[in-house]
Amino acid sequence: MPPKSRKRNKGKERKAKKEGKVELERVKANEIWQGWMNLKVGCLHGNDMVISNDHPVSKFMDEFFIHWDDRRDKGIEMILNDMLKTHSQVWTNNNHMELATQTFISIGVNLILVYDDVNKGALDIAKTITLLEHYDSSEGPGLSSSLYSRPAASKMRDIENGTISIKRDLLKFYRKRISCKCLKRMHLDARKTIPKMGRCAHCQAEKVRASLHVCSECMISQYCSKECQVAEIPVHESYCSIHRRYAFYQDLRLEIREIAPDDLQVRLEAEERLKIVHEALLGAAELHIEGKMKDKKIERLKEQIRMRDDIRGKLQSRRG
Ligand SMILES: [Zn+2]
Ligand SMILES: [Zn+2]
Ligand SMILES: [Zn+2]
């Protein structure tokens, strides 16, 4: 064999080996989640949908579990964010999204039932479900609706709020999402024995949830005292700002839908301008992180208000 083709063969071998490894990883991941899905716990928790191996959602689950299995340096948010590009046909299809969410719910419930307790796996899966449930494909690229909307961020806060009431919180989370009674007994027991707790965003102390007070700006972060809230300001400001700005952006979107529900042209135009506002909001949050925001804060806010009034004015003149 001439050396050149031997070299080429070596390259082919390496490629085949790599492909074989990727395929092996996928098969392993598939076995993991299908295994959790099909555990004989005597109930399907109201989810009787069957996913064949070549279904887009099955591939979506495979990829999730490849990374989840190897997630030392990756959070759930990062895994899903990367998958936005590789599995766009799942993210933009409501039926697929529902199927994926249902599958995660069954896996999370089975994880709890098998161990007769909540665990890190059930927590990660609950976070995943929350991100999927709040995903809004009409918002353009990125997971922003899952990460920045107040309902999503508050839910994340409540399922990640420490160690004392995690069992009670996760049982409630999953029980609400299944039509069977599989978690009823465990949840009722937890409610009797575990108080509803929350965690101070500064000192991390776990306190009875009702005793914490929430930041009046973003309505998400909770504190055990005024002192803790003040001490956290330098860290909290950029987080608070991005959530506030996101809420502002969402209000505008709703308003556009209300003012011009039928006029597609008007809506498209307004949505186009809204995109600019969205970018400005996220850009402002970045400036915040870089610490340049203070001087520009008032200027930016004025700019946003100008843009908002501009959109409103245009919509109303079109309408009248
Ligand atoms: Zn069940
Ligand atoms: Zn505190
Ligand atoms: Zn805040």
Summary mean pLDDT of the chain: 83
Confidence of residue 161 (pLDDT cuts 50, 70, 90): confident
Distance 208 CA to ligand 2 centre (A): 12
For residue 148, which amino acid is it?
Y
C-alpha of residue 202 to centroid of ligand 3, in Å: 12
State the pLDDT at residue 23.
Answer: 85
Q: In this structure, are residues 175 and 46 in contact, taking their beta carbons and an 8 Å threshold?
A: no
- How far, in Å, from the CA of 108 to the mean position of ligand 1? 11
pTM given for the model: 0.79
Q: Name the region of 230 (left: φ>0; alpha: ψ -120 to 50; beta: rest).
A: alpha
Cα 32 to middle of ligand 1, angstroms: 20
pLDDT in tens, 67-111: 886 665 578 888 898 898 899 999 999 999 999 999 999 999 999
